[in-house]
Amino acid sequence: MRAYLSERVGAAVLMAPLLLFLVLAYAWPFLGVVKWSFTLPTPGLGQYNALLTDGLVQSVFIRTLRIAAIVTLVSVAAAYAITVVWVRGTPAQRVIAEFCILVPFWISVLTRAFGWVALLSNRGLINTWLQSIGFISEPLALVRNEFGVIVGMTHFLIPFAVFPLASSMRSLDDRVLLAARGLGSSRMRTFWTVFVPMTRSGIIGSAMIVFVFSLGFFVTPAILGGGRSVMIAELIYLRIFQSPDWGLGAAISVVLVLFVGALMALLFRYVRPKQLI
């Protein structure tokens, strides 16, 4: 009993600095933001009422959810294919897949965003090449719209979607797959009816992580959207630093944090923690 209590106390002592840091760095400033949402410009629930009645805010929320959902779907699908190669491919395929997964982490999000502008703009590489071969007569609108935002965000988030999937795939028992093959199942049927369902936890974890990241994206939508596809993080920035309407910006921030918190609670409720490592 004493040994058990000693271990618990020791663990609490070791965790105390981290908890203190989290309180001072995150919880305390967030409480200040919550206070602003109820007190600026006048005390009351006016800012939260504006969230329900302001058409601009509602349209930005809907656009953010729509883009986040599309990015999540595309990112998880692409990450699944890459992860299958990384986990179950030949040694050469694994090296190439690992290179494609890790290299993007060495490039800043700002550099990547401007790289996509160079590719997708009216005078970018893609439009210039398509016009040179006569495939199009006028440049395609590939940037400063939702399409450009989705492309840039998907490219950034695919590596983050890979790791939960890789953890899930590596935990599979190959004997189950061999048993399915031994019973006459084709490779494709084994993949869809055995392999994919057994990696469901990884798919859910990957989707939740990508969706949560997408909700708070700022740099990529601001650059590739060109002010025409404003998402919720950019709206908060505009309300706080340019309007200024600190009360409404704070209320939007509080709602976003609570929404993300609810998503993370669902994540840890339905997905085993080891699937996220």
Whole-angstrom distance, CA of residue 31 vs CA of residue 26: 9
Question: Do 192 and 111 share a structural domain?
Answer: yes
Question: Do 142 and 210 share a structural domain?
Answer: yes
pTM (two decimals): 0.87
CATH number of the domain within which 111 lies: 1.10.3720.10
Strand (E) or helix (H) holding 156: helix 146-170
Question: Do 108 and 29 share a structural domain?
Answer: no
Question: Do 244 and 147 share a structural domain?
Answer: yes
User: Domain total for the chain?
Assistant: 2
Question: Do 194 and 163 share a structural domain?
Answer: yes
Q: Does residue 126 register a pLDDT over 80?
A: yes
Average pLDDT taken over every residue of the chain: 87
Question: Do 24 and 71 share a structural domain?
Answer: no
Residues 242, 104 contacting (CB under 8 angstroms): no
Question: Do 152 and 25 share a structural domain?
Answer: no
What are the pLDDT digits (tens) for 167-210? 999 988 888 888 888 888 888 888 898 899 999 888 988 998 89
Question: Do 229 and 96 share a structural domain?
Answer: yes
Question: Do 201 and 161 share a structural domain?
Answer: yes
Instruction: Report the pLDDT value the prediction gives residue 53, as an integer from 0 to 100.
Output: 87
Mean pLDDT of 138-167: 92
Q: Does residue 153 register a pLDDT over 90?
A: yes
Instruction: Report the pLDDT value the prediction gives residue 277, as an integer from 0 to 100.
Output: 47
Instruction: Report the pLDDT value the prediction gives residue 255, as an integer from 0 to 100.
Output: 92
What are the pLDDT digits (tens) for 80-90? 999 999 998 88
Q: Does residue 102 register a pLDDT over 70?
A: yes
Question: Do 32 and 150 share a structural domain?
Answer: no
Paired tokens of 29:
């400033």
What are the pLDDT digits (tens) for 24-59? 888 888 888 999 889 888 888 888 988 888 888 999
Question: Do 157 and 32 share a structural domain?
Answer: no
How many Cβ atoms are within 10 Å of 215's Cβ, its own excluded?
Answer: 19
CB within 8 A of 83, min separation 6: which ones?
A: 97, 162, 165, 166, 169
Question: Do 216 and 92 share a structural domain?
Answer: yes
The domain containing residue 18 runs over which residues?
1-39
Instruction: Report the pLDDT value the prediction gives residue 270, as an integer from 0 to 100.
Output: 63
Pick from 145, 108, 126: which is nearest to 223 by CA?
145
